């Protein structure tokens, strides 16, 4: 429930559930019963959806968080499905994760299980700090926030696998913004994920000048190395560019034209090392993409990407022929993974 206002004896609120988008409801204050005043998507009740189960877990460091496991509408007892991880908030209607680029129920309709992950809270020492820059320094030190976010996510994948409905060797990961940074850390520090897609990218040394002077000033306040410093040890746990010789997970980048320059080092480095990587840049877009035609293209390509790499479909129904032709070549020339090289 959000945006509640008292109207006479009723509380009028916007209400949504994991399986239904927002409606306007009136709640009787005496009985707690509610009636729907307005449903802007009445046809949604006729759509066949996958089931949702809320999972809670604690990772190896004692960090608690939760997520929602969505199974295909066609799921039957004993079946196992490839899993796609969507980040990084899991509240209300399960649409497409932060940025709404990873259509959870469409993935489920294509035979995937989906784990919608809620990011963990900050560590206690970060929450106790009132100065914003100091909080960022603590989170950046030894990439502590990235480790915390990834370890919690990884434990969530374990919790999903423990349900007995996941193909443990067929897992994909997605992310935007902070979630994209978690994807980067995951691809460098784990061999669990067999395909990935990001909406923004990347954390690399070149960001200190490609993103712009304002960002460079912020990173100085957060005690990142200065541009031009030989700081390989700092960047190595997080930079895909510095690990390009060992990254072999197929990576799809669908980026806004307002930010794609931050991905140029990663894209060039992965390409030069033969890694399977695709980049698409959408014009007139900033951090969150808003043009409906772009959103539709992004949905279709994300579904096709995971159909191809996780389901092994040679002709995904939503794939463009020119995309599919490149992916077939990528798969045929995919080198072996060398984790930690």
Enzyme catalytic residues: 177, 259, 287
Residue in 75, 76, 73 with CA at minimum distance from that of residue 105: 73
Phi, psi at residue 42, to the nearest 5°? Answer: -65, -30
Contact call for residues 270 and 244 (beta carbons, < 8 A): yes
The H or E element containing residue 56 is strand 52-58
Contact call for residues 81 and 109 (beta carbons, < 8 A): no
The H or E element containing residue 170 is strand 166-175
Contact call for residues 146 and 182 (beta carbons, < 8 A): yes
The H or E element containing residue 231 is none
Tokens of 336: 């072996």
Distances in Å between the Cα of 173 and the Cα atoms of 9, 84, 187 are 46, 6, 9
Contact call for residues 277 and 334 (beta carbons, < 8 A): no
Phi, psi at residue 61, to the nearest 5°? Answer: -95, 5
Peptide bond into 305 cis (omega under 30): no
CA distance 278 to 309: 13
Contact call for residues 276 and 330 (beta carbons, < 8 A): yes
Contact call for residues 311 and 110 (beta carbons, < 8 A): yes
Tokens of 123: 């560590």
Residue in 119, 221, 122 with CA at minimum distance from that of residue 180: 119
């Amino acid at each position: 429930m959000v945006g509640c206002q008292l109207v006479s004896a009723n509380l009028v609120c916007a209400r949504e559930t994991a399986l239904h988008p927002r409606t306007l409801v009136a709640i009787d204050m005496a009985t707690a019963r509610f009636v729907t005043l307005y449903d802007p998507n009445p046809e949604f009740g006729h759509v066949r959806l996958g089931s949702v189960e809320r999972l809670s877990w604690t990772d190896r460091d004692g960090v608690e968080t939760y997520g929602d496991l969505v199974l295909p509408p066609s799921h039957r007892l004993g079946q196992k499905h490839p899993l796609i991880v969507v980040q990084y908030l899991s509240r209300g209607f399960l649409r497409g994760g932060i940025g709404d680029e990873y259509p959870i129920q469409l993935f489920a309709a294509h035979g995937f299980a989906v784990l919608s992950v809620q990011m963990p809270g900050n560590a206690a020492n970060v929450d106790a700090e009132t100065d914003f820059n100091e909080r960022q320094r603590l989170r950046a030190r030894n990439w502590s926030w990235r480790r915390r976010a990834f370890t919690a996510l990884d434990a969530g994948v374990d919790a999903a696998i423990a349900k007995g409905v996941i193909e443990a060797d067929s897992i994909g990961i997605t992310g935007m913004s902070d979630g994209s940074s978690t994807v980067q850390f995951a691809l460098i520090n784990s061999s669990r994920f067999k395909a990935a897609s990001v909406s923004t990218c990347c954390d690399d040394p070149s960001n200190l000048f490609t993103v712009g002077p304002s960002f460079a000033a912020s990173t100085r306040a957060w005690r990142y190395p200065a541009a031009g410093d030989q700081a390989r040890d700092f960047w190595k746990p997080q930079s895909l560019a510095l690990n390009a010789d060992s990254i072999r997970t197929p990576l799809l980048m669908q980026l806004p034209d307002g930010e794609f320059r931050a991905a140029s080092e990663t894209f060039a480095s992965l390409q030069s090392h033969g890694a399977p990587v695709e980049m698409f840049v959408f014009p007139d877009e900033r951090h969150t993409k808003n043009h409906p035609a772009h959103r539709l293209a992004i949905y279709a390509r994300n579904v096709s990407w995971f159909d191809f790499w996780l389901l092994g479909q040679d002709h995904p129904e939503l794939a463009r022929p020119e995309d599919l032709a490149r992916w077939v070549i990528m798969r045929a020339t995919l080198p072996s993974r060398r984790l930690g090289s």
